[in-house]
Amino acid sequence: MDDIIKPRGPLARFKQAIQSGKVRVGFIGGSITEAHRESNWPYFIRAWFVKKFPGVRAAWENAAIGGTGSLSGVMRAQRDLLDTRCDIVFVEYAVNDGPGEATMRTREGLIRKLLEEERDVILVYTYCQDMYAAMSAGQMPASIVELEILAEHYCLPSVWMGLHAYNEMKAGRMTWEGWLPDGLHPDYLGSSIYAEPVIAFLEAELAGPARPSIPSGALLPAPHTPNHFQDIREIPLDDAELRGPWTEMREVILPWYRTALCTAADGAELSLHFTGRALCAMLNFGKTSGVLKYRFDGGEWREFTGERCWWVPDKNWCQPVLLADDLSDGAHRFDLRVVHGNREECKGTTCKIFTFMAVQ
C-alpha cells in the first residue's frame, strides 16, 4: 500500500490519549464523511476502535458538512475541533476543494489552526469522477497533489482511500455502482472499503514504537502558502448595525451553530466594522435565500447569488461564503443588502447568517 498509505509523522497524541483511557476523535470534510449518513466511513473507524479498545472511553466529534470545502473547515475548526479538545482529526477535502491558490490558503490555514496545539492530523482522500482521467492513467489528481505538498511540509500522514477502493473495484471485489451508487457517495460496502487502509494505518502505527510528536504551536514550520487563513476570527453578531426587520433566532436544524441573524425583508440592510484582509460569512442557504448585495468601504457593490442548481435544497444548507480576500490588511466597513434575485432559480428573500469571520 505504498501509494495509498504515507505514514510520515507519528500518532503520538492519539497513543497518549488511548493510554490515559479517554480519547476524542474528530472528523472534518464533506458529505462523504458527514455524520448523518450512518453508512459513511467514519462509522467503520468507530466500530474498529470500540472493538479494539473496549476499556477506553471515546468521544466522536464529526464536524463534516455536505457540499462544503476547507473554507468551512477553517471557519469551524476552533469551535468544533479545538474547543472540544480533539486528540486526532481526520481531514477529508480532496473532493470538495478544487485545486488552486484559494483552496491552498484555506487548507493550509486549517492545518495550521489544528496544529496550534499538540494534535494528530491525518489527511484522507476520497474519490469523485473528476479524478478518473488521472487515476486511470496511474497519476495523482491535482487536488491530491496539492494536499500531498502540505502533508510533506507538515509531516502529516495521509491515506488515499479513493485509490484503494478504485484498485479493489478493478480487482473485482465490487462493481462500480456497488462502490458509488450515485456516482459520488459510497454506500455500506464502499465506505467499509474506504475505511480499510485507514484502519490498517492506525493498527500499524499503534503497534509500533513511540515517536516524538510532529511539530506544533511555536515549532510549526514557516508557511508554504502566502496569506493562509490560520488567523481567522469570529466577529460578534452584536457588532452588526441593523436596518430593517432583523431578528436573532435559535437554530434548530443545523447543529454547528446556536443562533442565526435572520430577515426575509426585501431591502433589509446591515453594516459592520472589522479589521482584516478577508471576510467570510456562514449562511443557512438554499433556493429560498435572497441575493446578497454587498460592498466594502463604500466601494462598488458586489453580489452573491450562490449555487442554485437542481441538487440545492430550498433551505438548511450550511454554506460558507468568501466575501472578499483582496482587502488591505486593516480596518474596513462592510455593508450588506438583501434582495430578491428576480430570476427563476431564486425563490425567496430569506437571509440567515450564522457568523461573520475576518482573516488577519
CB-based contact 346:308 (threshold 8 Å): yes
Residue-level pLDDT, tens digit, the chain, 360 residues: 679 999 999 999 999 999 999 999 999 999 999 998 888 999 999 999 999 999 999 999 999 999 999 999 999 999 999 999 999 999 999 999 989 999 999 999 999 999 999 999 999 999 999 999 999 999 999 999 999 999 999 999 999 999 999 999 999 999 999 999 999 999 999 999 999 999 999 999 999 998 888 999 999 999 999 999 999 999 999 999 999 999 999 999 999 999 999 999 999 999 999 999 999 999 999 999 999 999 999 999 999 999 999 999 999 999 999 999 999 999 999 999 999 999 889 999 999 999 999 999
CA atoms within 13 A on the CB side of 255: 9
Q: Where in the chain is the domain with CATH 3.40.50.1110?
A: 5-219
Q: What is residue 210's predicted lDDT score, i.e. its pLDDT?
A: 83
Q: What is residue 1's predicted lDDT score, i.e. its pLDDT?
A: 61
> What torsion, rounded to 10 degrees, do the Cα atoms 51, 55, 61, 66 define?
10
Q: Please identify which residue in the block is written with the cell numbers 459520488.
A: 184
With b for 16 or more beta-carbon neighbours within 10 A and e for fewer, the 61-73 pattern comes to: bbbbbbbbbbbbb
CA distance 266 to 337: 8
Q: Where in the chain is the domain with CATH 2.60.120.260?
A: 232-359
Q: What is residue 163's predicted lDDT score, i.e. its pLDDT?
A: 98
Q: What is residue 168's predicted lDDT score, i.e. its pLDDT?
A: 97
Element (H, E) at 318: strand 317-324
Q: What is residue 330's predicted lDDT score, i.e. its pLDDT?
A: 96
The pTM of this model reads 0.96
Whole-Å CA distances, 179 to 27, 128, 166, 188, 194: 22, 12, 9, 9, 10
CATH class as words, domain 5-219: alpha beta
CA distance 95 to 130: 9
Burial (Cβ within 10 Å: 0-12, 13-18, ≥19) of residue 137: exposed
Quick one: CATH architecture of 232-359? Answer: Sandwich (2.60)
Q: Please identify which residue in the block is written with the cell numbers 478577508.
A: 278
Task: Compute how many other C-beta atoms are within 10 angstroms of the C-beta atom of residue 257.
Answer: 17
Q: What is residue 212's predicted lDDT score, i.e. its pLDDT?
A: 87
